[in-house]
Amino acid sequence: MAKNNKKNGNGVVELWGHEFQKAAEGLDKSEVVSFVTELMKKNESLLKRAEHLESLTKLAEKTIVEADDVAKQVHDEAEEKAKVEAKAILSEAEEQGQKIIEEKKAEAQARANREAEDIKAKAQQQAEKLLEEKIKEIQPELKNNAKTLYEELLTQLESLKKQVVTLEEELDHKLSEPPAKTLKATLEANKTDEVKKADNEFLELLQPVEEHSEAEPEWELEILPPIDLTQILDIINHLDDLPQVVRTELIPHMDKPTIMVFLRQPLELIEILETLPQVASVTEDKNSGGAEGKTRRAQIELPRQTVPQQSS
């Protein structure tokens, strides 16, 4: 249908917005054909474009759908990969954390051990220092006690010498009286208990003296601090009264005096010492003795309440 149909005086007809020359027989056929052909080409081009747009639209829709699927698949794969990586990271972090904890524990244990060793060493030093101070404190008293003991021993020796001299004089007097046999019988009949006791003591003095220079003591009794000379003398006197004991010797060490005990026959001295009130405890050195002739050793602790207090 023509949109404009105008005629003018120039012999031109305008159809569909296009001017056609009028011919004698009507419109110029070639122009009409050319115009229509052009229109058909344009229409065909438009149809092709429409088809192309439709194909592009379908392709775009398909691409969008596929893109959604790919995006979902990529999202799922990324999420799964992220979970695996997160699990691996957590596992590694937990392993590293456990390793750090073990290292910290080892460091703490080592530090605690070092501190314990330092405390032990300091305590040992303090104990040694305190022991040295205590030894220095009691050394004057030990010296005085040793001096007193020495003087007492000298006094006892002088007394024994006087007794020996007296007994020798009595013996000389008895031997000078005749007739010997008759007088001896008379004296035996008339002896008092005191004379008999003196004779027995004298006979003991006349017994052969045993050699002590090379003899080894059967026992060494070490007296642990604190020292009390009175108690030590009581222990020595008790041991000297035992029939199995030949003699005793006191070695006056300043810190730990030692009583050397010489026996004429075997004696379980530990059991005897445990019964004495002057002994708080006695401990035998298990490493001593054993072999024949080997000296047995023991340590004696005196009752602490008997230790004299130092004056300030």
27 in a structural domain: no
pLDDT at 255: 78
pLDDT at 1: 47
- pTM score: 0.34
Residue span of the structural domain in which 259 resides: 213-307
281 in a structural domain: yes
Based on the structure, what is the number of domains in the chain? 1
60 in a structural domain: no
Residues of the chain with pLDDT under 70: 1-10, 15-16, 23-27, 29, 127, 135, 174-214, 290-293, 305-312
pLDDT at 258: 95
- C-alpha neighbours within 13 Å on the C-beta side of residue 94: 6
271 in a structural domain: yes
pLDDT at 187: 46
116 in a structural domain: no
Q: How far, in whole angstroms, is CA 8 from its chain's centroid?
A: 128
pLDDT at 309: 46
For residues 296, 284, 309 and 311, what is the CA-based torsion angle, rounded to 10 degrees?
50
b/e string for 252-288 if b means 16 or more Cβ within 10 A?
beeeebbbbbbbeeebebeebbeeeebbeebeeeeee
269 in a structural domain: yes
87 in a structural domain: no
163 in a structural domain: no
What is the 8-class DSSP label of residue 225?
S
b/e string for 293-310 if b means 16 or more Cβ within 10 A?
eeebbbbbebeeeeeeee
pLDDT at 298: 95
In percent, the amount of the chain with pLDDT more than 70 equals 76
pLDDT at 56: 84
pLDDT at 179: 46
Query: φ and ψ at 102, to 5 degrees?
Result: -65, -40
pLDDT at 174: 66
